[in-house]
Amino acid sequence: MASISTRAPGDPVAANLTREQAIVEAWAQGFSVGSVVILILFVLCNYRRKILLHKLILLELFLAGWHGIFIFFDDPAYGWVLSSTAALLYISYNLHNVISWLKIKPFLPRWGGHLFIISLLLVQPYWVLETWANFQYFNILGNNLFKHSRYFEPLARDPWWIFTTVKLVMVINKNYGYTLIGLVKTSPRFGIMLLCMFLSIVFLATDVAVTATISTQSGINPFWRVGPPSPPPTPQLTPKRLG
């Protein structure tokens, strides 16, 4: 028997998802979790037990991989699982930036390395607030701050890894005399990585644009917002009288 929502029609709970929204969200989360699983397999193929960086990358992916399973739950577990796994995802974001710092630190001056990690530490209060706001919003605990705070996620999440990517390309170009095209020809895998980084930046811009312009509700990701609208209600038809 289908559960009946006791929440308001606009609340972000599982029972208020239309069939079309649930399908699109399930596909989105399936792609997300599946991509993390593939990345874990890639890391395991090159894993070295004594290398700290490999351990941190595996931990980062392990934490991120849980966010998506919430789609299998009904209310009220839906909101609690979503927010709990989102908290793990936020930790994964920051661990990713710590990994970026470890990668780029040898190529930065001493003050640059300090500035990188200190600036990352300075945004941690935001993530504490965002975790609280996420629990409040998706579990209908009385505060809708998440509708507004989510807009700032890219600023607290992405500058560090984007800087690391650009800086590494510049370092390789300067120290090894490779042009970008020559580097891609020499190492196609590096070219694939750069392509993925570029697509990530495009998706980031899309996420921000869709969040700010298309939807007035703060959903989970752009797929949720641009999902097919629910069909209009079927009109009540009355049979024509004969004669």
**Residue 156 within a domain:** yes
**What is the full per-residue pLDDT of the chain (243 aa) written as tens digits?**
343 344 555 567 777 777 777 787 788 788 888 888 988 898 888 888 888 888 999 999 999 989 888 888 888 898 899 999 999 999 999 999 999 999 899 999 999 999 999 999 999 999 999 999 999 988 988 888 888 888 888 889 989 988 988 888 888 777 777 777 777 788 787 778 778 778 878 877 777 777 666 654 544 555 444 443 333 343 444 444 433
**Residue 227 within a domain:** no
**Residue 1 within a domain:** no
Q: Distances from the Cα of 55 to the Cαs of 32, 59, 60, 184, 225, in angstroms?
A: 21, 6, 9, 27, 35
**Residue 225 within a domain:** no
Range of the domain at 159: 14-220
**Residue 235 within a domain:** no
| C-alpha to C-alpha distance for 225 and 46, rounded to whole angstroms | 37
* Number of independent structural domains in the chain: 1
Contacts 24+ apart (CB under 8 A), 136-140: 137/12, 137/218, 138/12, 138/13, 138/78, 138/79, 138/82, 138/83, 139/76, 139/79, 139/80, 139/83, 140/7, 140/11, 140/13, 140/79
**Residue 88 within a domain:** yes
